[in-house]
């Protein structure tokens, strides 16, 4: 039975290639990238390159995460009158608990800091979702229940994350997972924030999330086991079932892959197990090539890019499948459909 859809009413983004959703999505459309030297050096004495967000002051740590999140939330709340902004549920997506070098305060203090930055009070139904890259997909499931089961008019999903900290970078560098002059099989670290305003579908000219699916990959990147793509295939099949669609019905893909061969291979394997009819073209977009690998930001960037692509009419079509993956094995998939005028 198809699941009840939810609509993405507006978006907000803060990235290294744009401090608003329109700017960042325009950069992603053009595949612009803006890496700079970080403050850190790798084992070969070379500067580690990263996608840092340039704000008006050089905030770091929890303070920067709060500032970026507040900017993104404020942008996505633009359609909401000031008197209706109080007591909105906020689903805050942050780094997974397994993240190397994870900041203290992500599960409690950050939420308070964001509320103070915005001068807003959020509803008791708010929560922190510490699920890394799959976090926004998990949050969309919570938002769907709040809207359709508790009759809430709107929900805000926000994600804020950064890999540009030495405790995190050093662990990935030791594991040969960073993109460097001597390692092409790696990612470039980044940071950023995104926000989505979620409501019940209201008519035309809106992007809808029509299906969600989740899975667990036993052969995750650190497992050493042969990869078959079982977890991602499970998530994709579940999302397609909720949307009452087949993979060949959709027009293009957006994923969180950021440069590592493992995740490109997983995407190919999962597609081979879910695509039943041959398609002449089935584009795959990966916004992390512009924003860098920025953890929890991935899901918000994917949805914001899909929304912009459909509204600005540079999408290959109105049907989109998106998927996300955590290093520890969690997998998530979303089907998105644009209802045009």
Q: Is 200 left (phi over 0), alpha (psi -120 to 50) or beta?
A: beta
- How much is the mean pLDDT over the chain? 96
* Dist CA 188 CA 57 (whole Å): 23
Q: Which of 333, 143, 149, 157 is nearest to 243 (CA)?
A: 333
Measured CA to CA, the distance from residue 219 to residue 74 in angstroms comes to 39
What's the confidence (pLDDT) of residue 264? Answer: 97
Helix (H, G, I), strand (E, B), or coil: what is residue 178? strand
The CA–CA distances, whole Å, from 36 to 114, 124, 154, 164, 258 equal 27, 40, 38, 11, 17
Q: What is the pLDDT of residues 180-193, one digit of tens each?
A: 989 999 999 999 99
Residue 272's pLDDT is what? 95
pLDDT of residue 203: 82
Q: What pLDDT, on a 0 to 100 scale, did the predictor assign at position 43?
A: 87
DSSP string across 89-128: -EEEEE--TT-TTPPTTTTTHHHHHHHHHHT--B-TT-EE
> pLDDT tens, position by position, for the chain (341 residues)?
678 999 999 999 999 999 999 999 999 999 999 899 999 999 889 999 999 999 999 999 999 999 999 999 999 999 999 999 989 999 999 999 999 999 999 999 999 999 999 999 999 999 999 999 999 999 999 999 999 999 999 999 999 999 999 999 999 999 999 999 899 999 999 999 999 999 999 988 999 999 999 999 999 999 999 999 999 999 999 999 999 999 999 999 999 999 999 999 999 999 999 999 999 899 999 999 999 999 999 999 999 999 999 999 999 999 999 999 999 999 999 999 999 75
Helices (H), the chain: 21-29, 61-76, 109-118, 135-148, 166-174, 230-243, 261-272, 288-291, 297-311
Residue partners of 82: CB distance under 8 A and separation at least 6: none
By the 8 A CB rule, do 169 and 123 touch? no
Query: What is the DSSP secondary structure assignment for residue 133, as one 8-state letter?
Result: G
Residue 299 near residue 170 (C-beta atoms within 8 A): no
- Cα-Cα-Cα-Cα torsion 208, 332, 142, 212, nearest 10 degrees, comes to 40
pLDDT given for residue 81 in this prediction: 94
pLDDT tens readout for residues 119-166: 999 999 999 999 999 999 999 999 999 999 999 999 999 999 999 999
CA separation for the pair 224, 231 (Å, rounded): 16
The neighbouring-strand residues paired with 337 are 208, 319
252-255 vs 319-325, strand pairing mode: parallel
């Amino acid at each position: 039975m198809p699941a009840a859809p939810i609509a993405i009413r507006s978006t907000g983004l803060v990235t290294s290639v744009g401090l608003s959703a329109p700017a960042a999505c325009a950069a992603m459309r053009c595949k612009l990238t803006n890496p700079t030297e970080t403050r850190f050096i790798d084992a070969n004495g070379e500067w580690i390159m990263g996608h840092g967000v340039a704000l008006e002051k050089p905030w770091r740590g929890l303070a920067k995460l709060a500032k970026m999140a507040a900017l993104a939330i404020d942008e996505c709340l633009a359609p909401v009158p000031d008197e209706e902004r109080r007591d909105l549920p906020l689903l805050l997506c942050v780094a997974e608990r397994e993240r190397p070098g994870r900041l203290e305060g992500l599960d409690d203090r950050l939420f308070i800091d964001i509320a103070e930055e915005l001068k807003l009070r959020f509803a008791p139904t708010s929560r922190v979702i510490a699920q890394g890259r799959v976090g926004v997909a998990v949050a969309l499931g919570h938002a769907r229940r709040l809207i359709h089961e508790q009759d809430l008019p709107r929900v805000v999903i926000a994600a804020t994350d950064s890999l540009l900290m030495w405790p995190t970078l050093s662990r990935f560098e030791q594991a040969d997972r960073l993109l460097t002059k001597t390692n092409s099989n790696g990612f470039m670290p980044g940071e950023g924030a995104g926000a989505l305003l979620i409501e019940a579908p209201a008519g035309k000219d809106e992007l809808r999330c029509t299906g969600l699916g989740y899975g667990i990959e036993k052969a995750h990147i650190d497992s050493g086991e042969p990869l078959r793509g079982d977890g991602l295939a499970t998530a994709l099949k579940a999302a397609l079932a909720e949307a009452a669609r087949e993979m060949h019905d959709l027009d293009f893909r957006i994923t969180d892959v950021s440069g590592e061969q493992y995740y490109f291979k997983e995407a190919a394997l999962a597609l081979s197990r879910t695509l039943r009819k041959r398609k002449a073209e089935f584009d795959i977009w990966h916004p992390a090539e512009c924003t860098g690998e920025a953890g929890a930001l991935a899901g918000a960037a994917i949805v914001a890019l899909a929304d912009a692509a459909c509204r600005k009419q540079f999408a290959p079509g109105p049907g989109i499948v998106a998927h996300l993956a955590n290093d520890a094995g969690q997998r998530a998939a979303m089907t998105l459909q644009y209802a045009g005028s």
